[in-house]
Each structure stands twice: as structure tokens, then as C-alpha cells.
Amino acid sequence: MTDEFNTEIYYDDDADESHLETTTVAVLGYGSQGHAHAQNLDDSGVDVIVGLREDSSSRDAAEADGLEVATPVEAASRAEVVSVLVPDTVQPSVYADIESELDAGDTLQFAHGFNIHYNQIQPPEDVDVTMIAPKSPGHLVRRNYESGEGTPGLLAVYQDATGDAKERALAYAKGIGCTRAGVVETTFREETETDLFGEQAVLCGGIAELIKAGYDTLVDAGYSPEMAYFECLNEMKLIVDLMYEGGLGAMWDSVSDTAEYGGLSRGDAVIDDHARENMEEVLRQVQDGEFATEWVAENQANRPTYTQLRQAEKNHEIEDVGERLRALFAWAEEEETEDESVRMQADD
Ligand SMILES: NC(=O)c1ccc[n+]([C@@H]2O[C@H](COP(=O)([O-])OP(=O)(O)OC[C@H]3O[C@@H](n4cnc5c(N)ncnc54)[C@H](O)[C@@H]3O)[C@@H](O)[C@H]2O)c1
Ligand SMILES: CC(C)(O)[C@@H](O)C(=O)O
Ligand SMILES: [Mg+2]
Ligand SMILES: [Mg+2]
């Protein structure tokens, strides 16, 4: 289906689940995306086998969820579609183990294009290589499926050896609930570069720095940490919920005129031309592969910088203040428990 933007968007009616009818899907990994894809496909009637190392702590969770578990090699040998949902940095070594199990006409399926786009994995020419990338954290892919909603996703075909790659990918997207919401067609390159840029500059990196900078500014000026936490972090969700529902307009409509004028007249003093130039630099490093090279080397060196950065983030005062404050509020109790289980499931 083509909309007014000339973008292909596919919904349930455009996807035919019979393309996976006689197919076994091996889901390698049972973390954020893996547990969601495996359970959603299983609930959609697809034959699923989860591939995990013998010593993986995720094995118990997958089995408790009623799924068959095998080693990645055995799962791949029994499947016609192999969905690679271990961490990006682990994918090349898992792929090396399962490569010989790929038969002509099989599908190698990804949720992110990093390893294909940056040539860390080079599949044989006689298999389909596709991507269904939910535009969401994996735990919401499962939650949305269970509640009857869907999660928007991207579809890309890197290699179509069978002539049927897109149809199979659409059937997979339907199986995990993405075509309920809408699936947009793109390329491995576009998905990889926009995804990395988005998570670095805006969604994860940008927003975390914005929150900490706002918090630090208030606390350094003598305001209480509790005030700073509520103002700069807690209310962020409520504001973003409005944007999610109705765009920036819904947010500006809901806040006071004072907030709207103050925000419109002062926001670009914070995200100024210099910040925009820095965003362009972040994008350049994604586009020319500098970030990818750095990330691969960082992992080969056992993650020294990543470990330091993670620790510094944990040590920021806002994390301590937030933990104490969230424990004091009734609304937090339920979400905390859920978040804990989410974190535990994602650990290996
Ligand atoms: N996290 C997200 O919400 C999200 C969103 C969109 C796309 N993606 C993509 O999905 C893919 C999976 O990412 P994720 O965040 O779900 O991964 P994750 O970190 O949650 O996956 C961890 C799982 O991988 C397995 N695993 C870990 N180390 C392993 C090893 N050495 N050998 C074998 N298996 C191992 C374990 O089952 C573990 O539970 C990536 O390509 C990622 O870019 C993730
Ligand atoms: C959920 C995100 C940030 O969108 C995803 O891209 C990821 O890598 O986890
Ligand atoms: Mg990503
Ligand atoms: Mg993303």
C-alpha cells in the first residue's frame, strides 16, 4: 500500500502468514527482541525453536515460556528462517557457528542492519537476507502483541535469492505483530544509519545528556535534587506521551501559554547551531563507518571505555535521587517490578 508520502506501508492484509506455514523459525537469543519475537511467533502459530548456548541463563526463561530450546547450531540446522537476535557485537561469532547450517533458499533474518551494512557478516548468495526491525524496545513488542496492539516496524530486503524474500519477511512481521501497526519498507543502509543516529543523538544519548544537564544546572544553582529530578526526568515521560499521541502540537496545546512561549523562545538557545553541528558530526561518524569501527574494536578490547562510561552514568546523582523518590510513590511500585523483570530477562 502506498500512502501520500510515497512510502510503502504494509498492514495485516498485505501479509500472508502462509509463507511461514511449513517453516521452522530459529530465534537466536532470548533477550529484549528475542523473547518477544519467539513468543509472538509462537502465539501466531509459527513453529519456533529458540537457539541458546548450553550455559545461557536465558534458557530457563525460554523454557518457562513454553518454548523449545536448542543450541544455536541445532536450531539453525532445523530451521528455514534464522532470526539473529543476539547482541550486535555477538552476531558475527554466532553467525560463524551457524553458517554451515544455512541451506540454499533459507532466510537469514535481522532486527537491525549493523553487521550486514558494515560487512561484519557476509552471507552466502543463495540465502535470502531480510530485516524486520521493530521501532521499539523489545519488551513493548511483546506487551503490545499481548494487548492486541502492534508495534511499527521496518522491512528491508538485502538479498532475495528465492524471489520470495519480501513475502516471507512480511509474514514474519505479521507473526510478531508489526503489520497490525504498519511496516515501512526501507534498506539495510537507511535503517542502520538512522537507527544508530537516532539512539546516539536523540533517543538515548541526547535525551540522557539533556536530562542530566538540566538536573545539574538546577542543583548547582542551589535547588533541591528532588525538584530537579521531577522537573527534568519524571515529567519527561508525561510530556513525551503527549508528543507520541499527537505530535509536538499536542504537547504545546496541553502546556500553559507561559510554557509554550518560554519553550519556543528558549529551546533553540540550548539546542543551538553548535549542537546541530555536533549532531551532523555524530551522523558523519555513523555514515562513514567510524562509529562501527570503534564499536567493533571496543568489543575486541573487552569494552574498557564502555565499562567506564556505564559506571559514570550509574554514579550520577540523579540515579540515586530517582531510586529513592520512585520508592516513595505508589505509582512507581508496579513499574519498578516490571522493569526489574525486564532487566533480568535481558541479562545473560
Ligand atoms: N533492544 C531493543 O529493543 C532492540 C530494538 C530494535 C532492534 N534491536 C536489535 O535486535 C538485536 C538483538 O538485540 P537485543 O537488544 O534484543 O539483544 P539483548 O542484549 O537483549 O540479547 C541478549 C540475548 O542474547 C543472547 N546472548 C548474549 N550473549 C550471547 C553469546 N555470547 N552467545 C550467544 N547468545 C548470546 C542471550 O540469549 C541473551 O538473552 C540487535 O540486532 C539489536 O540491534 C534491538
Ligand atoms: C530501542 C532502540 C534504541 O530503538 C534500538 O535501536 C536499540 O538499539 O535498542
Ligand atoms: Mg538500535
Ligand atoms: Mg532503534
Q: Complex ipTM, two decimals?
A: 0.98
Given the residues 112, 117, 139, 274, the one annotated as active site: 112
Type of residue found at 82: V
Give me ligand 4 centre to Cα 258, in Å: 34
pLDDT tens profile 80-114: 999 999 999 999 999 999 999 999 999 999 999 99
- pLDDT on residue 335: 54
Residue 316 annotated among the catalytic residues of the structure: no
Does the CB atom of residue 115 touch ligand 1 within 6 A? no
Higher-pLDDT residue of 316, 328? 316
Q: Does residue 142 form part of some domain?
A: yes
Range of the domain at 13: 9-186
The answer to whether residues 76 and 108 touch, using CB atoms and an 8 Å cutoff, is: no
- pLDDT on residue 330: 66
Q: Which atom of ligand 1 is nearest to the CA of 87?
A: 17
How would residue 334 be classed by pLDDT, with cut points 50, 70 and 90?
A: low
How would residue 6 be classed by pLDDT, with cut points 50, 70 and 90?
A: low
pLDDT tens profile 251-279: 999 999 999 999 999 999 999 999 999 99
pTM: 0.93
Whether residues 47 and 73 share a domain: the answer is yes
Whether residues 43 and 166 share a domain: the answer is yes
Residue 1 has pLDDT above 70, yes or no: no
Q: Which atom of ligand 2 is nearest to the CA of 137?
A: 1
Q: Is 235 annotated as a binding residue?
A: yes
Whether residues 241 and 173 share a domain: the answer is no
Whether residues 78 and 214 share a domain: the answer is no
The answer to whether residues 171 and 19 touch, using CB atoms and an 8 Å cutoff, is: yes
Q: Which atom of ligand 1 is nearest to the CA of 53?
A: 33
Sign of the CA dihedral 26, 31, 32, 38?
positive
Q: Is 33 annotated as a binding residue?
A: yes
Q: Does residue 246 form part of some domain?
A: yes
Which of residues 186, 205, 234 is at a domain's end?
Answer: 186
The answer to whether residues 161 and 126 touch, using CB atoms and an 8 Å cutoff, is: yes
Q: Does residue 106 form part of some domain?
A: yes
Q: Does residue 1 form part of some domain?
A: no
Which of residues 143, 163, 186 is at a domain's end?
Answer: 186
**Total structural domains within the chain:** 2
- pLDDT on residue 299: 98
| Count of other CB atoms within 10 angstroms of residue 26 | 29
